[in-house]
Structure 1
Amino acid sequence: MKFLGELDEASLGRTQRCNRRLTDRNRLQAIRDTQLMDTPQEEAFDRLARLAAQLLDVPLTIMSLVDADRQFFKADFGLPSPFKETRTLPIDASLCRYTLEGEPIISSNAPADPFLKFHPSTGPWGIVALIVLPLINPDGHVLGTFCCIQPTVREWSSRDLTVMKELTESIMTEINLRDQVQKLKAEQNLRETFVAALTHDLRTPLTASKLSVQLLGRRHADLPSVQTSVARVSASLDRAERMIQNLLDASRIKAGKRVALELVECDLHAVTAQALDELAAVYPERFVLKAEGLFQMKADPLGLRRIVENLASNAAKYGAPGTPIEVRLERNGSQVMLQVRNQGTPIAADELQTIFEPFHRTRSATESAEKGWGLGLPLVRGLAESHGGKATVTSSAEEGTCFTITLPLDATSQQRLSA
């Protein structure tokens, strides 16, 4: 744009440097990434514009974004017509474009300023005193400005400058937080897509392998050695399938979603006893089941089984070798409680806070010979919460480590709420 007079060398150099920044592709991409251009006013930003006007006692404050073609007014206090309606200003009429090097524009008397006095917007806008601070993102790109304007001469105090700087930082904090949220959502979508694709691709060969093993078993039904091998391979394939389901469910839990359940009438006592009987083949003479009363529930029996299996197998793997593992069922009104307690080295207090987080493993688990993904306990909590219950843990040298699962007798209402 043409100034209404000849600029001195310093002012001319500033305009040239900022003009080069105006069309910088990385800067323009950073503005697009904010997703704020051409969007309606938002209270989060308008509140800061109002606050600046009140604290500095000025009639006009504006938050702008400056791209290659125009200045867009995202938030304001006291913006006059027609700009109040159009919310844009052609780039040739923009004063804010001259902050694109990261330098503010601060003046107590623009008509007397060697740079500002020649800018054609100062007269029509009634700009006399002004503070224009650049909005700079973490990569150093200037997205726009936050400014306050006074139509009379005013000496800005250090307090005035501090207020504007702090509010400008608040604007950038809001923008940066939104950027992080957008990146997290993109990462979450990518992770979910990856996990879905991975598990789909894994299940296809698993299904083919299971069919082949079953066919082999039928063809050689009279050979005990073949049947033993078929059973061993089938069990391994079933375990791999459960691991895939665990990965899918862990991904859902990490995304803040509930695990899908199939609710039917079932008996928690029977489910628990069957799960412990099967685990006893791997960990003989370890589990002691204590149950009193009836435990008929409206729940997902497979989900209940996964809770018992994960807690009981963890207790066997990481508890003191050879010590009994107590599994207790109790009923209290409309709720049931499942507890799994083992003896051994207690879990550190700081790790109790994160033990149910996906892919987290305690130090003792990491240092042990037992391998794992850190999915078992997050699944336990996810399954409990999907039923409308909760999972907690306590651990001490005196009392041992005790995981407690509290569940409603009827999870129907919870499933209706989360549907």
Structure 2
Amino acid sequence: MKFLGELDEVATGRTQRCNRRLTDPNRLQAIRDTGLMDTPREEAFDRLARLAAELLNVPLTIVSLVDADKQFFKADFGLPSPFRETRELPIDASLCRYTLEGEPIISSNALADPFLKFHPSTGPWGIVAIIVLPLINPDGHVLGTFCCIEPKVREWTAHELKVMRELTASIMTEINLREQIAKLKTEQNLRDTFVAALTHDLRTPLTASKLSVQLLGRRHADMPSVQSSVARVTESLDRAERMIQNLLDASRIKAGKWVSLKVSECDFHEITVRALEELASVYTDRFVLKAEGAIKMVADPTGLRRIVDNLASNAAKYGAPGTPIEVVLGRRGGHVTLQVKNQGPPIDGGELLTIFEPFHRSRSARESAEKGWGLGLPLVKGLAEAHGGRATVTSSAQDGTCFTITLPLNAASRETFSAIADSQLAGENEPTGFRS
């Protein structure tokens, strides 16, 4: 870059420092990471350029990215031809490159400024009064600038400078949010790929192991000790398969997808009884089932079983030791409710808002001796919503913790269930029944 006159020592030092920043590979990578270079105009940025022009009453505002070889105009108000069409400027003609150290360029009269008056763009661009503020990302890299230009002498007020700084912050907020969204999408894709590969690789040896164990059981059908060992190994392999399925479903839920269902006619009461009987062998006789008898549904029996398993085992793990756990089944109109209640320390109000998020564990869960992945409750919520229902939770020191699952009797009606359930649930009392 050749200036039209000799710069003083201060100005020369600034140009040298900024020139070194110009080709910094980390800065250039930060610009690429925005995904904005050489992209079409966007209203999100043009709106801010227009707003600055209106609030400051100036004829020209520009949002730019400063690359190693050019200045790219991402948005503008009042940009003249041919720059409005080409939307770029060779880097040697760029004034904005001299903000790459993070220092703004602010002048009320560029023609009398010891630095600006010698810049070759000042005259041709009609630059007299100017504000150039750097766009600085969270890592401290200057990506470009937001500037306004007035073709006459003008003393900028403190209010006008504040307006420009606030709008510059808004531009960076937009850029940063876009980057975060892009990173989250990349992470999600990597996680999905990893989960799919992991679960595929795990299922193959598990399947082979189950076949071998079953074969062993058949060969030694007359040996009780072998049959007992086969049963224990099979149970462990089944548990590992359920964990793999939980991981797959949690990944789908986090990606905003439905958990797949295989619906058929089933009895929710019968499913619940079987689940609690098996859990009682692990958690002793703590479960108290209150129900109204058979509850026939068109639903996914496996999904219903997973809901009961997760809620009941969670209540046993994290509720007050030795206290009864109430499981209440009820039917009202076109929907059924399942409530699982336990006593013990309440869940904090803030954690209630995030308790159904994948991989989240409440403080009490983290502090307990029980290990987990934080997948049970997200799966419960995902399965409930896949059926067209919902999952909610309340918790207090007086009443304990209660998870409530509300489902339509027919999963095929899930599209209309939410609207119907809102009116049916209003003012409804807790379902009652008998102890089984």
Same fold (TM over 0.5): yes
1:73-88 correspondence to structure 2 within 5 Å: 73-88=73-88
CA, structure 1 residues 330+161, in 2 after alignment: closer, same or farther (shift >3 Å)? same
Cα distance per residue 1:147-192 (max 9 Å; x no partner): 0000111111111111111111111111112112222222222222
Q: Is the 8 A contact 2:408 2:414 kept in 1?
A: no
Q: Hey, what does 2:124 align to over in structure 1?
A: 124
Q: Hey, what does 2:351 align to over in structure 1?
A: 351
1:320-399 correspondence to structure 2 within 5 Å: 320-399=320-399
- Number of residue pairs matched? 417
CA, structure 1 residues 411+14, in 2 after alignment: closer, same or farther (shift >3 Å)? same
The amino acid of 1:165's aligned partner reads R
CA, structure 1 residues 127+347, in 2 after alignment: closer, same or farther (shift >3 Å)? closer
CA, structure 1 residues 78+288, in 2 after alignment: closer, same or farther (shift >3 Å)? same
Secondary structure of the residue that 1:237 maps to in structure 2?
helix
Q: Distance in 2 between matches of 1:26 and 1:242?
A: 45
Secondary structure of the residue that 1:290 maps to in structure 2?
strand
Q: Hey, what does 2:221 align to over in structure 1?
A: 221
Cα distance per residue 1:340-368 (max 9 Å; x no partner): 12233333334323322222333333333
Q: Distance in 1 between matches of 2:41 and 2:79?
A: 13
Secondary structure of the residue that 1:312 maps to in structure 2?
helix
The amino acid of 1:10's aligned partner reads V
Q: Hey, what does 1:166 align to over in structure 2?
A: 166
Q: Is the 8 A contact 1:293 1:331 kept in 2?
A: no
The amino acid of 1:360's aligned partner reads H
Q: Distance in 2 between matches of 1:410 and 1:223?
A: 46
Q: Hey, what does 1:412 align to over in structure 2?
A: 412
Determine what percentage of the aligned residue pairs are the same residue: 82
CA, structure 1 residues 321+26, in 2 after alignment: closer, same or farther (shift >3 Å)? closer
Secondary structure of the residue that 2:124 maps to in structure 1?
helix
Shift in Å at residue 370 of structure 1?
2.7
Q: Hey, what does 2:201 align to over in structure 1?
A: 201
Secondary structure of the residue that 2:197 maps to in structure 1?
helix
Q: Hey, what does 1:254 align to over in structure 2?
A: 254
CA, structure 1 residues 319+134, in 2 after alignment: closer, same or farther (shift >3 Å)? closer
Q: Distance in 2 between matches of 1:9 and 1:192?
A: 56
CA, structure 1 residues 8+358, in 2 after alignment: closer, same or farther (shift >3 Å)? same
Shift in Å at residue 43 of structure 1?
1.5
Q: Hey, what does 1:269 align to over in structure 2?
A: 269
The amino acid of 2:63's aligned partner reads M
- Which region of structure 1 is more displaced relative to structure 2, 165-174 or 10-19? 10-19
Shift in Å at residue 45 of structure 1?
1.0
CA, structure 1 residues 321+109, in 2 after alignment: closer, same or farther (shift >3 Å)? closer
Q: Distance in 2 between matches of 1:32 and 1:227?
A: 62
Q: Distance in 1 between matches of 2:378 and 2:28?
A: 42
Q: Is the 8 A contact 1:33 1:179 kept in 2?
A: yes
Q: Distance in 1 between matches of 2:416 and 2:248?
A: 22
CA, structure 1 residues 169+339, in 2 after alignment: closer, same or farther (shift >3 Å)? same
CA, structure 1 residues 258+147, in 2 after alignment: closer, same or farther (shift >3 Å)? same
Q: Distance in 2 between matches of 1:283 and 1:73?
A: 66
Using the size of structure 2 for normalisation, the TM-score is 0.91
- Which region of structure 1 is more displaced relative to structure 2, 254-263 or 303-312? 254-263
Q: Distance in 2 between matches of 1:218 and 1:351?
A: 49
Q: Gaps spanning 5+ residues in structure 2: where?
A: 418-436
Is residue 1 of structure 2 the alignment partner of residue 16 of structure 1? Answer: no
Shift in Å at residue 416 of structure 1?
11
Q: Hey, what does 1:59 align to over in structure 2?
A: 59
- Which region of structure 1 is more displaced relative to structure 2, 316-325 or 401-410? 316-325
Secondary structure of the residue that 1:259 maps to in structure 2?
coil
Q: Gaps spanning 5+ residues in structure 1: where?
A: none
Q: Distance in 1 between matches of 2:271 and 2:293?
A: 15
Secondary structure of the residue that 1:154 maps to in structure 2?
coil
Shift in Å at residue 5 of structure 1?
2.4
- Which region of structure 1 is more displaced relative to structure 2, 361-370 or 148-157? 361-370
The amino acid of 2:329's aligned partner reads L
The amino acid of 2:278's aligned partner reads E
Shift in Å at residue 111 of structure 1?
1.7
Shift in Å at residue 398 of structure 1?
3.2
Q: Is the 8 A contact 1:387 1:408 kept in 2?
A: yes
Using the size of structure 1 for normalisation, the TM-score is 0.94
Cα distance per residue 1:380-404 (max 9 Å; x no partner): 1111112121111122343232211
Secondary structure of the residue that 2:205 maps to in structure 1?
helix
Q: Distance in 2 between matches of 1:24 and 1:349?
A: 47
Q: Distance in 2 between matches of 1:9 and 1:344?
A: 72
Q: Hey, what does 2:96 align to over in structure 1?
A: 96
Cα distance per residue 1:243-299 (max 9 Å; x no partner): 111112122222332212222222212222222222233234322322226522222
